[in-house]
Chain A
Amino acid sequence: MEFLNYFHGVFEPLSLLLLVGGTVGGLILGATPGLSPTMAVALLIPFTFQLQPVQGLILLGAAYTSTVAGGAVSAILLKIPGAPANIATALDGNAMAKKGEGTRALQLSFLSSGVGGVIGVMLLIFLTPVLAQWALAFGPSQLFWLAILGVTVIGTLDSDSFVKGLLSGCIGLWISMIGYDDVQGAQRFIFSDSLAGGVNVIAALIGLFAIPQVIDMFSKGRKHRELQVVKTESHRLADAFNEVFKRSRALSIGTVVGSVVGLIPGVGGQIAGLVAYDQSKKFSPEKEKFGKGHSEGLIAAESANNAMVGPSLVPLLTLSIPGSPTAAVLLGGLLIHGIFPGSDLFERHPDVAWTFINSMLIGQILMVIFGIYTAVWVSKIAQIPVPVMSAAVLVLALFGSYSVQQSMGDVSVMFVLGLMMYFLQKFGFSAAPLVLGLILGPIAEANFVQGSMIATAMGVPVAYFVAGPLNILLIALVVLSIGYSFWSHHRHSISHQEKPALPWQQHVSTATMILLGAITVVWVSFTSEPSEAFLFPKILSGVMLSLAAWNAYRAWSGLSQVGVGLGKQEFIYLLPGLLVSLALIFFCAKFFGFYVASAVSFFIVYSVYDSTPITQLSGWVRRLVITAGFMLIIYLLFAMLLQVQTPRGLII
């Protein structure tokens, strides 16, 4: 109970100020589409140089906690996850927001985050020595099986079609192999320079979720009649409270999954939310409601991604091994201040360590308070007129994807992926399995290769991967998961009754294109050198080819029933917006400078899609003012606060 002695440190004026500031700032940063927790923490590190170690840590810890929770805001309101951890939140949360239940979704989300987070930090406080040992138990073999377990989840995640879900996942896995192979240094699938570093997960996330939304808004044209100005109902907090605790199964699944996943170094809490969502779906008697605005999945996902925070600090604080990308940044922050994490951290610097942990605890509670307090008026964001929203998200996508690594390559990749996803979505594919594949691919491959190297060196090539209680447990879970996926697909396909809404030709043409793509990947994988570096691509492309063939067969025989296709009208409507976006991303931003190019593009898009008649002068004035206001906010956020250096081009 030593931690009780150090609570006073949290309530010192400057520390408390930093805690509150970090929490509020973290919520705002997390809620901004395009800014991930890792980036937010990394961008805050220079601010901590002037502070005492404890204070710097408090700031970073508060930011870590609240950016993860804040990411739920844009996930729910805009269907754009703020971080990979919030992908599952977007699935049901946004459906609820579209029905006008945005406030309820936000309240549930913050409350679950708070519960999960507090339990996670409690685990950190009381069980650190035990947990540290468990963290070490996961070697290359165990991590490989864990990644495979994650992969088996792909099939049933947010897909009405099992084949398309798996295909989506395969595409994600393939994309994760683009770039230099980390272990052997071979070049794989680098057909353009900007891909040399591989596809960055955050840039991909922004592209895969934000861009299709934007293009979709474009395709509604100027009238956007059916665009709901859905009135956001207010919701009593007490009701949300009751609901969270009524859904105790989802809450517990979420917390347990989050804590376990967060603890294991090398997996990262990015998949905590997705795995929790999937598991709570498997154990729920109301499976069909998932994805349509059901609170169970939301509660599980959000409690998981905050429960992850505490345990992810266990390997960091005790062994100096970061359990997630954000924890890695925190480690850097610690080292800069001369605090060496290690098993003796609590003996040498108990004040720093315990005050920091206590601040995380208080931070969770503050995060819930601030989050809920602002939930009501934040949910009004869903009522921002569509043309403004589409223009704003486009600009945010540009800045967000650039800020990750100051790379224009990331921006291009972001947009290309987004464009691809828009079309795929029209034909029944979903982004969530793709991102999951993208995240798990490197983990599965790196651990397999490394495990094989160790196994060969020790002379036990196969036994290494199947021996030992933990391996056996994981393999059993993998088998169960695959079995369950097949079974539920079988059951589901019988009851699935959607009216085929699009012409046979469109299904066939997309299926054929995908098949051709799969064949290309197979060919490249089997003919590239060095052959050993392409082992995983070979296996993957084989699987992908079979799935693509199965998908094509279904399209040909008219069995494919999902997807809404692309109408000619929609295509015409989206063209102007698309052209402006292409010009901005691939040319104007770098040539004229980010801010000027964005301002002009924002104004053009807004004007094109605004329903006010062209001749109305007040309309032009209004649009100019809003453009200026928005760009000012962007400037304050990115240039002043985060100090991201964007290309200046000719102007700025």
Chain B
Amino acid sequence: MLITHKITRLLLSTSLALGLSSVAVADYPERPIGVAVSYGAGGATDFQARIVTMVAGNDDALGQPMYIMNKPGAGGRVGWNWFATEAEADGYTLSAYNVPHFIAQSIKGGVKYDVNSFEPVANWGADPAVIVVGKDSPYKDIKSLMDYAKENPGRVTLSGAGLLVGHHIAALQLQKAASVKLAYIPTKGGGAAAMKAVIAGDVVGGINNLSDAFRAQQAGNVTILAVADVTRNDFLPDVPTLKEAGYDVDNSSVNFRGLMVPKGTPQAVIDTLAAKVPAMFEHKRVTGKMKAGGSPMLVMDRDAVKAMWAERQAYLEELLKDL
């Protein structure tokens, strides 16, 4: 099977190279573009990706529709491994990225990608982590929760959507900042499962996406105690940041989401995408639906994302050294 794979790749890449050299850039894109999402259908990244790629078919956008391919597994590793090693770099296969997830995973090791395996195109969302507790919880603010944690090291269980995801990073930072020992419980099943654990009382509290927590709070099932960001969020004007509450946690756990292409994609294709995709993200229909879904947006262009990735790489290397 490996041999056939190699021959196939060789033949394919040869014909591809021959083909590409004769394709005029002005023709890109000629057919629908696939966007790989490294998480299951129905999750936050998935439905946000579906919304932001809704208008790709418009004439003033890319002119060709984008379709989503779910490649879930192992917190995103499966999809990104595939993207780094098997996706064709011809501009017809993109992927959604989640920072800090893929960077943290590559620093930890055991995966086939790192921050240099991909070329960013544009960023669409910035979903900070928030600390939540169930609606019947005795802890009404972050301070009382942390005080309890200080007296009872290792007793405060906090659910999160997995290891080395934004929630986990926030938990690590909070532990350091408040000098407490927390029990981070990664769940299988993404943010929804982590939220369920909080609502059901399986855990003392949880760290989750602002978007999911916002909706759960609106429905009256949880209370958001604090936001892990540098400024308060527009969706939650009354919720303090962890910094304001006295815990020095910055925005390194913010879940940035955007689109990227594999390394080796022709520069002309990257330039076309980098020019058109940010505008696509800012289309009224897209921003309207994102707002309605409680998903905070932050559109960043390619250069800004490159800088962000580099900065995150440096910070996470430092943070995860002690892990």
Contact = CB atoms under 8 A, between A and B. Distances in A.
B81 A196 contact: yes
A584 interface: no
B185 A457 contact: yes
Interface string B186-222: 1111001101110111110000000010011011110
Contacts of B46: 332
A587 B8 contact: yes
Interface stretch (A26-34, A122-130, A322-330): A322-330
B235 interface: no
Given A136-B200, A320-B192, A457 B42 contact: no
B187 A406 contact: no
B297 interface: no
A344 B157 CA distance: 28
Contacts of A196: 73-74, 77-78, 81-82
Interface in A422-474: 442, 446, 450, 453-454, 456-459
Contacts of B200: 136-139
Contacts of B43: 328, 332
A42 B70 contact: yes
A266 B42 contact: no
B21 interface: no
B172 to A, nearest CB: 15
Nearest to A181: B74
Nearest to B184: A453
A198 B73 contact: yes
B29 interface: no
Interface string A330-346: 11100110101111110
B42 A405 contact: no
Given A46-B67, A180-B77, A454 B203 contact: yes
Contact of A650 (B15, B41, B70, B81): B15
Interface string A25-61: 0000000000000100010011001000000000000
Interface in B68-106: 69-75, 77-78, 81-82, 85, 105
Interface stretch (A183-191, A269-277, A360-368, A613-621): A183-191
Nearest to A344: B219
Given A38-B41, A457-B185, A192 B1 contact: yes
Given A185-B163, A335-B293, A645-B34, A197 B74 contact: yes
Given A332-B41, A332-B42, A457-B154, A645 B67 contact: yes
Contact of A342 (B34, B42, B50, B218): B218
Contact of A331 (B4, B42, B71, B162): B42
A179 interface: yes
Contact of B187 (A138, A450, A457, A587): A450
B130 interface: no
A187 B199 CA distance: 31
Interface in A292-333: 315, 319-322, 325, 327-332
Contacts of A38: 41
Nearest to A451: B202
Interface string A344-367: 110000000000000000000000
Given A336-B51, A344-B220, A586 B73 contact: no
A412 interface: yes
B75 A329 contact: no
A446 B188 contact: yes
A590 interface: yes
B54 interface: yes
Contacts of B187: 450
Given A266-B189, A406-B34, A450-B185, A319 B293 contact: no
B216 to A, nearest CB: 6
Contact of B73 (A180, A458, A643): A180
A340 B215 contact: yes
Indicate the member of B41, B154, B201 with the most A CB atoms within 10 Å.
B41
Contact of B69 (A180, A265, A406): A406
A591 B8 contact: yes
A446 B159 CA distance: 14
A320 B44 CA distance: 12
B90 to A, nearest CB: 11
B69 A458 contact: no
B42 A320 contact: no
B41 A180 contact: no
Contacts of B197: 139
B176 interface: no
B129 interface: no
B196 A329 contact: no
A185 B77 contact: yes
Given A342-B216, A344-B219, A586-B4, A336 B289 contact: yes
Interface string B34-54: 100000111100110011001
Given A329-B42, A450-B187, A320 B289 contact: no
B220 A343 contact: yes
A454 B202 contact: yes
Given A454-B185, A457-B183, A182 B199 contact: no
Interface string A407-433: 100001000000000000000000000
Contact of B8 (A140, A590, A643): A590
Interface in A126-173: 136-140
A336 B164 contact: no
Nearest to A186: B110
B292 interface: yes
Given A179-B73, A338-B292, A345 B219 contact: yes
B71 A453 contact: no
Interface string B143-183: 00000000000111100001110000000000000000001
B169 to A, nearest CB: 15
B112 to A, nearest CB: 9
A463 to B, nearest CB: 15
Given A139-B200, A139-B202, A450-B185, A319 B73 contact: no
Given A136-B200, A320-B195, A412 B1 contact: yes
A48 to B, nearest CB: 10
A38 B4 CA distance: 32
Given A46-B67, A332-B47, A458-B157, A185 B188 contact: no
Contact of A179 (B41, B74, B154): B74
Nearest to A416: B1
Interface in B221-237: 221
B47 A335 contact: yes
B108 interface: yes
A335 B51 CA distance: 10
Contacts of B50: 45-46, 332, 336
B185 A453 contact: yes
A457 B215 contact: no
B289 A338 contact: yes
Contacts of A344: 218-220
Contacts of A453: 157, 183, 185
B215 A342 contact: yes
B32 interface: yes
Name the 5 nearest CB pairs between A and B, nearest first.
A342-B219, A180-B74, A338-B292, A328-B42, A457-B183
30 contacts: A38-B41, A42-B41, A42-B70, A46-B67, A136-B199, A140-B202, A179-B73, A179-B74, A183-B162, A185-B77, A196-B82, A319-B196, A320-B192, A328-B40, A328-B42, A330-B42, A332-B46, A332-B50, A335-B47, A336-B47, A340-B293, A342-B220, A343-B219, A343-B221, A405-B72, A406-B71, A412-B1, A590-B8, A591-B12, A649-B12
Given A331-B192, A342-B218, 16 more contacts: A38-B41, A187-B110, A192-B1, A196-B74, A196-B78, A197-B72, A197-B73, A322-B42, A329-B42, A332-B42, A332-B46, A344-B220, A450-B186, A643-B32, A645-B67, A645-B69
Interface of A: 38, 42, 45-46, 49, 136-140, 179-187, 192-193, 196-198, 265-266, 315, 319-322, 325, 327-332, 335-336, 338, 340-345, 405-407, 412, 442, 446, 450, 453-454, 456-459, 586-587, 590-591, 643, 645, 649-650
